[in-house]
Each structure stands twice: as structure tokens, then as C-alpha cells.
């Protein structure tokens, strides 16, 4: 069962799948998944995939916003196995902000003392809006939340929405230069909301990549 799994433990998949119907951020192309080889013609099957790094559930590297900052392949592997806590803000509606006081209260209720080695995940239940008109009118994190988490030196944050912020992207600009990664378009956070858990979230080793698809796994 693996070294992280003990008696009574289970794994929760926190990712969306990737397909031609995957919804993407404004300005990005829809993924293409095309047959490259088939059982009938070549005797095996393989697909050609074309998509932006920032597609589906993915991790933003510091180089996404800052020239010369670490790319996805340059991040330390120690960042990919950590502790996680999921905070429930599913009461937030389109375009509503999460304030730092609310995050402090939610962390206190969870019992998590976040810092190095931790990811803080935000549940908005926004995956249920995919395909609807409000998907790109997601709740967002106030700049003060980013500054608070940067002071805590967490490893990363995650949201189940397209982004934790809007232009001019204050959350990205506060967190990424400090090496704090951002996971977007997560899923199934309802299953871990209000809880702490072990988190495994490994990106592809894309040389010079500004992001990578990931499949976050919560071990609860």
C-alpha cells in the first residue's frame, strides 16, 4: 500500500481529467487529444496531446510571472510531498473575496499550524461551475491572504477554481517570487475540507516549464 498509507488511510484524488472538453482560462487553446497510433493499424495505441502547460489541474512555477525565477523542473523535489489543510469557503459566491481574518479563523478551527512543509488549499466548490457562465467569475483571495501565507513560508496554495486572483494577479506576484507554488483547478476538496492530511503533488519535469499538469493526492 506504500509507506504513507497506514491502517484506515485512503487516497483522495484532487484533480480534474484532461480531455478535449476541458475548460481553459481565457486566451488559452482547448486541449487536443488526437489518435497517433491504433491497435488496428500499428498494433498498439498512442495519442498526440497538445495543450498549454496551464491546463486542467496544474502547478504554477515562479517563472510563470518572473523572468529568471525557477522553472517547474528547477523546484526542489522536497516540495512535492507535504502536509496539507483544506479550508472550506464554499459559501463564497462569484467575485467574492476571502479575507485574511477568515483564513486565520478557518486555520484555527482546523487545528493546523501551517508553515514550511505545508500547502493551504481553498475549497470554493467551483468545479461544479465548469461549463457554466460563472466559472470565470470565481471567488478570489485578497492580497492580505497571500501576504499572510507568504509570512508563514508555506510550500504552496491550491484552489478548485481557475485562479486565486484576477488581474493584476496580486496573489501570484506575492507568492511566486518567494518560491510558493500555486495549484489551480483542483477537485474533490469537499472530501477533505476542514481536515489536515498528507499531500503528494508531483509536476512533470518540463525543462524551462512555467507550469505542469499535476495529480494531487490527499492521504487521509
% residues pLDDT > 70 (the chain)? 98
Cell of 67: 523572468
Omega within 30 of 0 (cis) for the link into 158: no
- Domain 11-16+54-219 coded CATH 2.40.50.140: no
Question: For residue range 105-134, what is the model confidence (pLDDT) as tens digits?
Answer: 999 999 999 999 999 999 999 999 999 999
Question: For residue range 161-183, what is the model confidence (pLDDT) as tens digits?
Answer: 999 999 999 999 999 999 999 99
Cell of 35: 489518435
Question: For residue range 23-40, what is the model confidence (pLDDT) as tens digits?
Answer: 999 899 999 999 999 999
Average pLDDT, the chain: 96
On the question of pLDDT at 16 being above 80, the answer is: yes
What angle (nearest 5°) sits at the alpha carbon of residue 75, between those of residues 74 and 77? 115
Domain residue spans of the chain: 11-16+54-219
Pairing of strands 217-219, 196-200: antiparallel
**Quick one: pLDDT at residue 54?**
98
On the question of pLDDT at 3 being above 80, the answer is: no
On the question of pLDDT at 8 being above 90, the answer is: no
**Quick one: pLDDT at residue 1?**
40
Span 128-151, mean pLDDT?
A: 97
Spatial distance between the Cα atoms of 155 and 45, rounded to a whole number of angstroms: 38
Spatial distance between the Cα atoms of 200 and 132, rounded to a whole number of angstroms: 30
% residues pLDDT > 90 (the chain)? 95
Span 33-57, mean pLDDT?
A: 97
On the question of pLDDT at 5 being above 80, the answer is: no
On the question of pLDDT at 91 being above 50, the answer is: yes
Q: What is the 3-state secondary structure (H, E, C) of the chain?
A: CCCCCCCCCCEEECCCCCCCCCCCCCCCCCCEEEEEECCCCCCCCEEEEECCCCCCCEEECHHHCCCCCCCHHHCCHHHHEEEEEEEECCCCCCCCEECHHHHHHHHHHHCCCCCCCEEEEEECCHHHHCCCCCCCCCCEECHHHHHHHHHHCCCEEEECCCCCCCCCCHHHHHHHHHCCEEEECCCCHHHCECCEEEEECCCCCCCCCCEEECCCEEEC
Closest CA to 98 of 122, 81, 132: 122
Amino acid at each position: 500500500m506504500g509507506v504513507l498509507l497506514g491502517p484506515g488511510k485512503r487516497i483522495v484524488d484532487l484533480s480534474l481529467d484532461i480531455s478535449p472538453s476541458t475548460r481553459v482560462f481565457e486566451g488559452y487553446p482547448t486541449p487536443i487529444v488526437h489518435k497517433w497510433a491504433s491497435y488496428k493499424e500499428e498494433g498498439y495505441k498512442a495519442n498526440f496531446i497538445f495543450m498549454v502547460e496551464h491546463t486542467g489541474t496544474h502547478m504554477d512555477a515562479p517563472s510563470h510571472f518572473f523572468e529568471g525565477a525557477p522553472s517547474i523542473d528547477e523546484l526542489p523535489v522536497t516540495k512535492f510531498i507535504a502536509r496539507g489543510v483544506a479550508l472550506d469557503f464554499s459559501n463564497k459566491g462569484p467575485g467574492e473575496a476571502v479575507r485574511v481574518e477568515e483564513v486565520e479563523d478557518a486555520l484555527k478551527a482546523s487545528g493546523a499550524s501551517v508553515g514550511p512543509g505545508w500547502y493551504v488549499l481553498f475549497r470554493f466548490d467551483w468545479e461544479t461551475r465548469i461549463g457554466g457562465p460563472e466559472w470565470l467569475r470565481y471567488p478570489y483571495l485578497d492580497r492580505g491572504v497571500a501576504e499572510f501565507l507568504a509570512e508563514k513560508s508555506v510550500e504552496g496554495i491550491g484552489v478548485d477554481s481557475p485562479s486565486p486572483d484576477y488581474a493584476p494577479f496580486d496573489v501570484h506576484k506575492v507568492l511566486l517570487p518567494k518560491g510558493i507554488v500555486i495549484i489551480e483547478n483542483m477537485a474533490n476538496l469537499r472530501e477533505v475540507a476542514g481536515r489536515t492530511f498528507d499531500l503528494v503533488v508531483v509536476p512533470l519535469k518540463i525543462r524551462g516549464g512555467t507550469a505542469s499538469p499535476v495529480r494531487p493526492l490527499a492521504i487521509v
